Structure 1
Amino acid sequence: MRGGTVAVVGGSIAGCALASAAARAGADEVVVLERTHGRLADRGLGLCIHDGRAAELAATGALPAGIAAHRLTRRRWVVRDDTAAGPAGRVFWEQPFPFHSYHWGLLWRGLRGATPAPVVYRQGAAVTGVAGDGERAEVRLARGTAEAFDLVVGADGYRSVVREAVCPESRPAYAGYVCWRGNFDARRLEALGDGGWPAESVTTVCFSGGSCVIYRIPGPDGPRVNWVLYAMPPQTGRLPFDDPTSFPPGRVTEELTTHLGALLDREFPPYWAQVIGLTEPADTFVQPIYDLETARTTAGRLLLAGDAATVVRPHNTSGAAKALQDATAFEDAWRRADTWDELLRAYQAARGAAGREMVALARRLGRGQVEQTPAWAAMNHREAESWWQGQLGGAADIGGQAMTP
């Protein structure tokens, strides 16, 4: 099938990938509608993509070449041990970790730069509603105008306007815990001396009621250290956990900052507490953890991708890969279809169940690493491996599934 017009609502990672896929597949017109005016490339979060998924996505063109990435090979699980271990704690398990880490902004910049020339990227175009029951789909904009397209793709994330039209019954569910996130210039580590931390290693600090993942990522000005700490929030006071960015960088409340400091002092090996302490307040934020699954990813002339289709807890390390896989499946379905209906049916078949399985796996990982943590310090290597396989529940690994050829 060739021709047609496509609107992609949302211009971040999923939006850029879906727009490029539509253009490569043969759309006459592709318009990306991004609500923000700011520079998305300024987002400094770290993320990882499994080496197997990256190879598949590079082969399809969904992951462009030349985007800065940092190679990771091993994951070490560490506990505080004041009696026998040094300041970096005791490693009770080590496992392969075949991933590359990325800087969100640099990955977005690479995807944005790779969008074919016919793609029109419009910033400051806030979408307030969509409709797609007939032979065309309509997008309503905040400025009061409406535009018609053959297909509207919802790549507008957690609070998707398009999902409201496709699956109005689906609502993100708060998992009951939060994550503190931060990153800083890796050169600051020099002040702490050698903590025995190889550059290709991921460290997971484990404690009762939570865990923290620490690894290096590339940055615009050199390597950075990225960390994500999962734990229950303080029980005092009333904190508004109605948005995953309720406490953005520089605006984390004193209560949350104090809670984090006490947790680091109480639970972390001293070296890793100092590592987290190198993060500036302007580079630290708190994100409530949510998940969401949808019964369908298409309806009429509407289609969902990325976090608009499923919100997966970060433990699975699959968010970016999943968005790029959605784009790959979309392009493949387009090339095989003779009609819009065939395209939409093929995409639903390819991505519907996959998204729900990712959500289920991430829930198991959240239970095991935050909600119902084991006695980490009592585990040996064999017991840790058995615990991990129970977490996977038959999945081959974290990082997302291989796509069906």
Structure 2
Amino acid sequence: MRGGTVAVVGGSIAGCAFASAAARAGAERVVVFERTGGRMADRGVGLCVHDERAAELAAMGTLPPGIATHRLTRRRWVVRDGAAPAGKLFWEQPFPFHSYHWGLLWRGLREATPASVVYRQGVTVTGVAGGGAGNGGQAEVVLADAGAAAGAPERHDLVVGADGYRSVVRDAVCPGSRPHYAGYVCWRGNFDARLLDGLGAGVWPSDAVTTVCFPGGSCVVYRIPGPDGTRVNWVLYAKPPQSGNLRLDDPTSFPPGRLTAELADGLAELLDREFPPYWARLLALTPPEDTFVQPIYDLETARTTSGRLLLAGDAATVVRPHNTSGAAKALQDAAVFESAWRTAASWDELLHAYQEARGAAGRELVALARRLGRAQVEQTPDWAALSGREAESWWQGQLAGAAGIGGQAMPPAP
């Protein structure tokens, strides 16, 4: 199938990947609507991609070469111990991943987007409609800021919702579907790894992810590449302060620079009470402007397509971050979309093939991440009492037959 116009709502990782996939597959015109008007490459959040998923995506052309990564090989689990500043190591497991800086990954995907793609930044989509007999089967996109034509719909043969966990497109595909608050949050931060020099050498190997464990939560710490050298990235999961001042049921976040005093104080108290001294000092190196909070949500949708609308990445399924699969899943969605396009004879065939391939995959990721969240935050074990063998058994219980974290393997090409 060749020709047609495709609108992609959202221009971050999933949006760039889908725009490139549509252009490569043969779309006549592809336009991306990204509401953010600022420099997206400045976002410094870290993420990881499993080595096997990265190899599959690179082979399919969905993950461009040359993007900076940091190699990780093992995950070390530690708990506070009065005799050891860095805590007690109770388990170590293989961790075959590479870490990324969100902004650098996005930049690589954006630079790899074909020149034919129209990337419109600072444009907000307020609504979409899925297509019907009245408009020749095309879908409609309504823009908030289209000048004299504000409110007038644009028509496209296909609209891809790559607009994240608060997706406008999802509202049209699955009306009433909203992310569900899991009951806890993650504090996040990152800082220049050169600041580690004052904490002592040799405590934390550069290829290791460290998980600091405590009653009612855990914190994952790892290095990522940055625009100006290596950075330290951390994600701490726990229940927020129970003062009643926080309203988290509706999807929200507390971005860098907007952390409330209540949340900042809650983090400081948690570090002092539960963390080994070394790791408490390490997290405290994070500048306030690089510290933020994300409430944890999840969502599985009944379908990923409707009419001429298609959901991608977090717009399709919101997966708790414990599964380390968000970026890989978004890129896999794009890879499957491109493959389905190349073999489809019609839009209906394309959308059906995508739904069949990605609907169940998203639901399985949500289910696994819920199990991981229960085990590592909501119903934590007595970490200090676990032996390495017991920790391995506990981990396998979370997987419940899944091959591992980081997302599922891509099926072989037909």
TM-score interval, smaller chain: over 0.9
State whether structure 2 residue 119 is matched by structure 1 residue 117.
no
Mapping of residues 124-273 of structure 1, within 5 Å: 124-134=122-132, 135-143=137-145, 144=150, 145-194=152-201, 196-242=203-249, 245-273=252-280
Counterparts of 1:226 and 1:78 in 2: how far apart (Å)?
17
Output aligned runs, 1:305-384, within 5 Å: 305-384=312-391
The 5 A counterparts of 1:74-85 are 74-83=74-83
User: Deviations for 1:297-348, whole angstroms, at most 9, x for unmatched residues?
Assistant: 0000000000000000000000000000000000011001000000000000
Superposed displacement of residue 404, structure 1:
1.2
2-side partners of 1:360 and 1:57: how far apart? 23
1:292 is aligned to 2:299: yes
SS in structure 1 at match of 2:297: strand
2:34 corresponds to: 34
Give 2:281's match in structure 1, choosing from 262, 268, 274: 274
Structure 1 distance, partners of 2:274, 2:367, is 29
Partner amino acid, structure 2, of 1:350 = A
- Could you tell me which of 103, 109, 129 is aligned with 2:101? 103
CA RMSD for the aligned pairs? 0.9
Alpha-carbon distance in structure 2 between the residues aligned to 1:241 and 1:62: 35
> Deviation per CA, 1:223-247, whole angstroms, max 9, x where unpaired?
0000000000111131122565531
**1:61-80 paired onto structure 2 within 5 Å:** 61-80=61-80
Counterpart contact for 2:181–2:250, Cα < 8 Å: no
User: Cα deviations across residues 39-88 of structure 1 (Å, max 9, x unaligned)?
Assistant: 111110000000010000000011000000000000000001114xx210
Task: Name the CA distance, whole Å, in 2 between partners of 1:243 and 1:252.
Answer: 17
Q: Contact conserved, 2:258 with 2:292, CA < 8 A, in 1? A: yes
CA distance in 1, matches of 2:257, 2:244: 20
TM-score, reference length from structure 2: 0.96
CA distance in structure 1 between the aligned counterparts of 2:38 and 2:249, rounded to whole angstroms: 23
- 2:404 is matched with 397
**3-state SS of 2:86 partner:** coil
Instruction: Give the letter for the 1:299 counterpart.
Output: S
Query: 1 CA distance for matches of 2:171 and 2:244?
Result: 32
d(CA) in 1 for partners of 2:161, 2:243: 38
The percent of aligned pairs where both chains have the same amino acid is 80
Deviation at 1:111, TM superposition (A): 0.2
Q: Which moved more, 1:252-261 or 1:369-378?
A: 252-261
Post-superposition Cα deviations, 1:258-281, rounded to whole Å, max 9, x if no partner, equal 111111111100000000000000
Contiguous gaps of at least 5 residues in structure 1:
none
SS class of match (1:88): strand
Shift of 1:194: 2.0
Secondary structure, counterpart of 1:292 in structure 2: strand
More moved, 187-196 vs 17-26: 187-196
